[in-house]
């Protein structure tokens, strides 16, 4: 079961990357109908059409694999006791995602629908990862807290990072779908100002997307410094250092997007790294939740 869940997580990540390629190539409406593509199961062999059709094909593989996993969990008494609720929720998100995918196409890639579609996909990925962790029993060896208050503070902080990264990715999806990526065409200022006029929706969402990135970097950086001084577990310290490095790299990708005029490869990398940051935040939070109080 763990191997199938790991495969499902991997394919879902591939689906994120493929979806980013579809968007950057402007192929989101290359198949204007659903569930067929140009009225066919196998569409015309043109690049934009094949990109969108390939995205649907990978999504179908993820869907059928997820259904198989969840049905197996629900039929097995031991698995059902541990993962029953998670599997039912995952199936619900899968159905919701399929419906949203059809609606997104029908309503011609409305930005808020694209962002909602992305958000549900992220929740789906988090649930798959959580089911895998539940079967793997992962945790940080030797990590312990002297007080429940200290443990609770770290729990809150890690959960807040995870949730803020989730919000940031969804907001980034809205930025991309609404063509706000160059609403602030300069850096580090925006329209030549540190605080630009926020009367324009595109400028406002772009500016707040930047602010959340800065907040995450500073917050995780401070937490890493605190962990170095107060927590002696190298595994945990290294995980925070890796997360901090990934956030910095992600900010650099965002800057490159702005200064280079949104090159496709950088836009795809930007979403890929964002998804990895979310996965790392989910892993760290889960592993800390399963440590003991000394």
| Whether residue 149 has pLDDT greater than 80 | no
Average pLDDT for 80-106: 91
Q: In the beta sheet, which residues pair with residue 62?
A: none
Give phi and psi for 64, each to the nearest 5: -65, -40
| Whether residue 184 has pLDDT greater than 60 | yes
Q: In the beta sheet, which residues pair with residue 250?
A: none
- The continuous run of DSSP H or E covering 145 comes out as strand 144-145
Report the pLDDT value the prediction gives residue 142, as an integer from 0 to 100. Answer: 56
Residues 6+ apart with CB under 8 A from 161: 216, 219, 220, 243, 281, 285
Token pair, residue 28, equals 């989101």
Report the pLDDT value the prediction gives residue 261, as an integer from 0 to 100. Answer: 94
Q: Does residue 98 contact residue 63 with C-beta atoms inside 8 Å? A: yes
Report the pLDDT value the prediction gives residue 40, as an integer from 0 to 100. Answer: 83
Report the pLDDT value the prediction gives residue 121, as an integer from 0 to 100. Answer: 95
For the chain, report the end-to-end CA distance as a whole number of angstroms.
33
Average pLDDT for 156-176: 94
Average pLDDT for 200-214: 96
Q: Does residue 98 contact residue 55 with C-beta atoms inside 8 Å? A: no
Cα–Cα distance, 63 to 68 (Å, whole number): 9
Indicate the range of 74-83, 103-112, 182-191 predicted with least confidence.
Answer: 103-112
Indicate the range of 38-47, 204-213, 279-288 predicted with least confidence.
Answer: 38-47
- The continuous run of DSSP H or E covering 293 comes out as strand 292-293
- Could you tell me the pLDDT band of residue 290, with boundaries at 50, 70 and 90? confident
Indicate the range of 69-83, 118-132, 200-214, 266-280 predicted with least confidence.
Answer: 69-83
Report the pLDDT value the prediction gives residue 145, as an integer from 0 to 100. Answer: 60
The full set of domain ranges for the chain reads 1-137, 140-294
Report the pLDDT value the prediction gives residue 204, as an integer from 0 to 100. Answer: 97
pLDDT above 70 covers a percentage of the chain that reads 94
pTM of the model: 0.91
Report the pLDDT value the prediction gives residue 39, as an integer from 0 to 100. Answer: 81
Q: Does residue 47 contact residue 22 with C-beta atoms inside 8 Å? A: no
Indicate the range of 12-16, 75-79, 138-142 predicted with least confidence.
Answer: 138-142
Burial class (CB in 10 A: 0-12, 13-18, 19+), 13: middle
State how far the alpha carbon of 56 is from the alpha carbons of 18, 22, 165, 243, in Å.
10, 11, 26, 31
> 92 versus 145: which is more confidently predicted?
92
The per-residue b/e assignment along 83-101, b for 16 or more CB within 10 angstroms, e otherwise, is: beebbebbbebbeebeebb
- Could you tell me the pLDDT band of residue 6, with boundaries at 50, 70 and 90? very high
Q: Compute the radius of gyration of the chain from its Cα atoms.
A: 20
Provide the CB-side half-sphere exposure for 132 (13 A, CA).
19
């Amino acid at each position: 079961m763990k191997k199938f869940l790991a495969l499902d997580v991997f394919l879902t990540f591939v689906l994120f990357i493929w979806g980013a390629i579809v968007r950057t190539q402007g192929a989101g409406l290359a198949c204007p109908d659903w569930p067929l593509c140009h009225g066919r199961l196998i569409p015309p062999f043109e690049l934009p059409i094949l990109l969108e059709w390939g995205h649907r094909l990978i999504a179908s593989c993820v869907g059928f694999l997820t259904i198989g996993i969840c049905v197996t969990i629900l039929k097995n008494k031991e698995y059902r006791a541990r993962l029953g609720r998670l599997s039912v929720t995952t199936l619900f998100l899968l159905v919701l995602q399929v419906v949203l995918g059809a609606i997104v196409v029908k309503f011609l890639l409305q930005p808020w629908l694209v962002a909602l579609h992305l958000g549900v996909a992220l929740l789906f990925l988090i649930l798959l990862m959580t089911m895998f962790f539940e079967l793997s029993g992962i945790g940080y060896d030797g990590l312990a807290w002297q007080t429940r208050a200290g443990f609770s503070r770290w729990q809150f902080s890690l959960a807040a990072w995870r949730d803020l990264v989730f919000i940031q990715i969804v907001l980034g999806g809205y930025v991309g779908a609404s063509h706000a990526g160059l609403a602030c065409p300069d850096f580090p200022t925006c329209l030549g100002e540190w605080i630009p006029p926020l009367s324009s929706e595109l400028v406002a969402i772009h500016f707040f997307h930047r602010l959340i990135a800065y907040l995450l970097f500073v917050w995780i950086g401070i937490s890493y410094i605190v962990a170095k001084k107060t927590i002696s577990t190298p595994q945990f310290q290294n995980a925070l250092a890796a997360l901090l490095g990934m956030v910095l790299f992600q900010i650099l990708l965002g800057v490159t997007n702005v200064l280079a005029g949104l090159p496709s490869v950088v836009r795809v990398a930007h979403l890929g790294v964002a998804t990895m940051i979310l996965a790392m935040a989910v892993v760290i939070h889960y592993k800390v939740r399963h440590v003991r109080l000394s």
